[in-house]
Amino acid sequence: MFDLVALIKAVGYLGIFGIIFAESGLLIGVFLPGDSLLFTAGFLASQGYLNILVLISISFIGAVTGDGVGYWLGRKFGPKVFTRKDSIFFSQDHVERAHIFYKKYGGRAIIFARFIPVGRTLAPIIAGVGGMHYPTFLFYNVIGGAFWAVGLPLVGFYLGSVIPNVDRYMIPIVAGIVVASVLPGIIHFLKNGENRRHLVSFIRERILRR
């Protein structure tokens, strides 16, 4: 939490824009802390370190344009996305799960995925691969960007403004945001029987035997 505060103070508006842009559509952004960063930046705005109007503006623009780039990458490279080898920034398992999520929810997946780590990076790419009509994609992109990139900073700003000494509770609040964001992915993973068997096997072989 304190490292995140220091990061935001160090990189400023331009750095926040870059992080949100990268996490919204570039594969290198899958490990970036978008949810907690937006909330914490909103809190810092309530304490006078940032201007909330500038913050939500650059966050929204970064989110929408980042998704747009992700969509373009999906349209340009198409099926190659599904044949690319795994790397430190890329996992075929993540792509497959994002694809299933997109097929299940359609355009709404662009909105829902905003609140799911990795999902928000891959959803626009999968939409591009799937050939979603761009005006339709843009519609959901703008709505999702507003809920996520504007909503989270405003929540942080509001809590920082109305709760005395809210900084004392920042670590559990941010931890709760992180847990809430990764929980859907964990639930989806555990719903698969094969995944559960692999997890049990891993625990038995790598942890319990030690």
pLDDT in tens, the chain (210 residues): 447 788 888 889 999 999 999 888 776 655 667 788 898 899 889 888 899 999 999 999 999 999 999 999 888 876 666 666 665 555 566 666 666 767 777 778 888 888 877 778 888 888 888 778 899 999 999 999 999 999 999 998 998 888 766 666 566 666 665 555 555 555 554 565 665 565 456 455 555 555
Helix (H) or strand (E) holding 197: helix 193-202
pLDDT attached to residue 127: 84
How far is C-alpha 117 from the chain's CA centre? 4
Integer-rounded Cα Rg, in Å, for the chain is 18
